[in-house]
Structures are given as structure tokens and as C-alpha cells.
Chain A
């Protein structure tokens, strides 16, 4: 089956991170430092990506600043012709390092936000002092004029601060704000009872974002990911499986999306053994759910099939036990009752504390 070239690549340079957010998008089985690709291999992967058609490179983690070679990796990505974006908590970005990243040609920084106050943010991130350090880094970024997106990951414990979050984005000089409601994969599923927003919070968030988009038009652009458990239709998985983006994990395996390891029957090939081009076009994992020919009913006969491609494969796996099923979030899914039940159950069990993301295992 023919596929278009990929536009974007997420490079998860490391799983190491000083924070321990309970919704971390890294897999539950984390890779340690010893498993990570070395500098030269990453640089080769970046050149391969540019040759393949990738325009946007997202340097992510874990915390990418945990890699001592971050500046060299950035310089190599820029030399390969990629638009280079650093996705970071800010921890580990000293003024000196920001200067070096700027000199290397870094295009943009996406800074994560756990909460609007130190008490809230440090509790959610599981890292005392993290908020104050982040605010210092944000000021350094603003002073340098590095283009900034604030990525506010939202859930039951911070959605009521959405107005303040928007104000902070403007104050910090961000041009773009992602209001990203937690998606339930991996670590987040362990914390569903703590993280799922209420229906009232979801409705309020939609209203607040819509009003702010009008008020701040031309000042702050919004990307809004609403909580999909309350949606009528599912999210389009990555704009279509294997159609726009790919994700290289710290040890060099290549995934169609960051959560794809949750689909147990898929085997992911590695850049240590095959070229990125062969993996993108020819590997079984990338072809597994490409296009629309594989779609089950009711998706195959649905007028939205070219819009959402049956929804999220990882969510189908998690909620229906079958990655080839209709995403149960869809109101047309025969399994939609699972979502309704999860909402009822999760909203009933609101007490307790987070199960924090663990640190990667260290080899001794």
C-alpha cells in the first residue's frame, strides 16, 4: 500500500526525567540510559528523516535536557534542514545552555505546564521546586525571544485554573497554547480516577477556550484537545496511522505513535537494523492500520471514516481489547458502554493520590 512521506518526527531522546507526572506519555516499561542511541546514531536518523520528507523534528523525552549532547543533537538536526522544536519541562536548561541551543539554531521551545502555582504544579509533577525553576527558564526564553508554546496538560485537578493558565501563557510571551486534556494511555490509565475531569469541567473548558480564542486572536493561538471520553466521535489517530508522523524511542525502535507499544502483537523495527525509509514504507507495524481498507464495521460504512480513521488504535486496544476495533469513544461503537461505565466509575472514586511515573531502571 502506498503511503505519503511523513511530515513530523518525534525523537524521544531519553526516558530519563526529573519529573514524575502521573500522565507521562512514556510507556510503563521505561528504558534506562544504557539502552539509549548514541549521538552519531541520532544524527544519522535526523538526516534520514529529512531525506524521507520530514519537515518538523520534535526533540522530546523524558526530559531531553537530560541528554548531555542536546546541543550537538540540535545543531545536527538544524544542519539536516529540519525545523527543530524542543519539548521540555525546562529543568536542566541553564542560561548558558539556552545560549548554546540558540546558537545551534533551535527554532522553537514547547514548555510543559503542570499547574499555575508551585503547590499545584510540584504536586502534579512530583518534583519539589520544579515550578519555580520552570518560571525562571520561561523568563530566560522570553528574554531571548525564542518562540514559545506553552503545553498545559489539563485534568480534574487543574482544569478549574484554565483562565489563569491562559493569562500565564500571555504573560510568558507564548504565541501558542496547547490546552491538552490528558489522554488515557500508559501511566494515565493508572491514574484515571484522579485525572478524569467532570462533565461540568469539560463544558466549562470548551467555553473558556472558545471565548479566549476570540479575545486573544492574533496574540495567542490555541490548540485544544478536549477530553475525548465525553466526545461523540473519536480523535483521528495521528491524522491516520502511518500517514503523517513517526516516533523514534530512546533505543531506536520506530513507532507509528508514542503509545503504540501498548498494542502487544505489533513488532517495532529499529534504526539500528533498517533504514528509516524501509521502516516507514515497508514494516508490518506501519502498514497494520494504514488507510481505510482494514476498518471494521461500523467504521467501514461511516461517512467519517476519512476524518477519524476509526479513532485511536491504542484506545481501541485499551478499552475494547482489540486494536482493530472501532475506538469505543465513538458513540457508534458497539463497545461505547465501556466508556460510559468508566466515566461513572472514575468519577465515583475521587479520593487518593497519584501513582507517579517511576524512574527508569538503572543497571548496576
Chain B
């Protein structure tokens, strides 16, 4: 199955997956079952907008406006990032 998100899809972090501040190393970490993923600034910007209410299209539009970047380019980056997380079951899409 394709894991690509459509514009109206609402992504969310399922129970057991959350962001935390790494108070020893600094930065933000995505914690998931038996895994910890260090986020770069882009990953953090994307996941901080995953609220369980915002749609994929809204997240992309917000990022494009915030960083004054073309929507097409942002959409591709966010899609790649989210598909990677979906493949690991760290991110789901609301039914």
C-alpha cells in the first residue's frame, strides 16, 4: 500500500510516540517504542505541527509561509519525512 498522505489526511503521533527535549545532549528527540530519533530543525518544525487536528495540506502551507519557500518543494520534503515515519509506525493518519 502507498503511505503517501493526501492533502486532507490528518497525521498524528499514536500513543507511545512523542517529542521530548533532550536535556543532556540538547535538541528535540522523537521517542517511540524502544527507539529514540534525534530530530534536526526541519524534522522538529514538521512534527511540532502534527497536532492531530491539522491536515497534511495545512501543515505544508504553514511551513511554506513560515519559511517563505515554494509549496511544491516543502510538500515533497514533508511527504518523504512522513512516509518514513509511517513505515516505522511512528506516525498514523486519522481514519
Contact = CB atoms under 8 A, between A and B. Distances in A.
B24 A221 contact: no
A187 to B, nearest CB: 23
B7 interface: no
Contacts of A53: 22, 24-25
Interface in A11-66: 51-53, 55-56, 58
Interface of A: 5, 7-8, 51-53, 55-56, 58, 81, 83, 85, 107-108, 110, 145-147, 149, 175-176, 217-221
B1 A218 contact: yes
Contacts of B20: 55, 81, 83
A234 B24 CA distance: 32
Interface size class of B (residues with CB under 8 A): 20 to 34
B34 interface: yes
Contacts of A217: 1, 3, 87
B89 A218 contact: yes
Contact of A56 (B24, B34, B86): B34
Rank and list the top 7 A-B pairs by shortest CB-CB distance, nearest first. A147-B16, A53-B24, A175-B89, A108-B33, A83-B31, A55-B36, A221-B89
Interface in B57-81: none
A52 B24 contact: yes
Q: Specify the main secondary structure of chain B where it touches its partner.
A: loop
Given A81-B23, A175-B14, 12 more contacts: A5-B24, A51-B24, A53-B24, A55-B22, A55-B29, A56-B31, A56-B34, A85-B34, A110-B34, A147-B15, A147-B17, A149-B33
8 contacts: A53-B25, A56-B31, A81-B20, A107-B16, A107-B31, A175-B33, A218-B89, A219-B89
B66 to A, nearest CB: 28
A147 B25 contact: no
Nearest to A87: B34
Contact of A218 (B23, B24, B86): B86
A149 B34 contact: yes
A318 B69 CA distance: 57
A149 B31 CA distance: 15
B89 A58 contact: no
Contacts of B89: 175-176, 218-221
Contacts of B25: 5, 53
Contacts of A145: 15
Interface string B1-37: 1010000000000111100101111000101011110
Given A218-B1, A218-B3, A55 B31 contact: yes
Q: Which of A7, A51, A110, A175 has the most CB of B within 10 A?
A: A175
A103 to B, nearest CB: 14
Contact of B87 (A51, A56, A81, A221): A221
A110 B16 CA distance: 12
A176 B33 contact: yes
Contacts of A110: 33-34
A218 B87 contact: yes
A53 B34 CA distance: 15
Contacts of B88: 221
A108 B34 contact: yes
Contacts of A108: 16, 33-34
Q: Which of A52, A55, A176, A218 has the most CB of B within 10 A?
A: A218
Contacts of B3: 217-218
Contacts of A149: 33-34
Contacts of B33: 85, 107-108, 110, 147, 149, 175-176
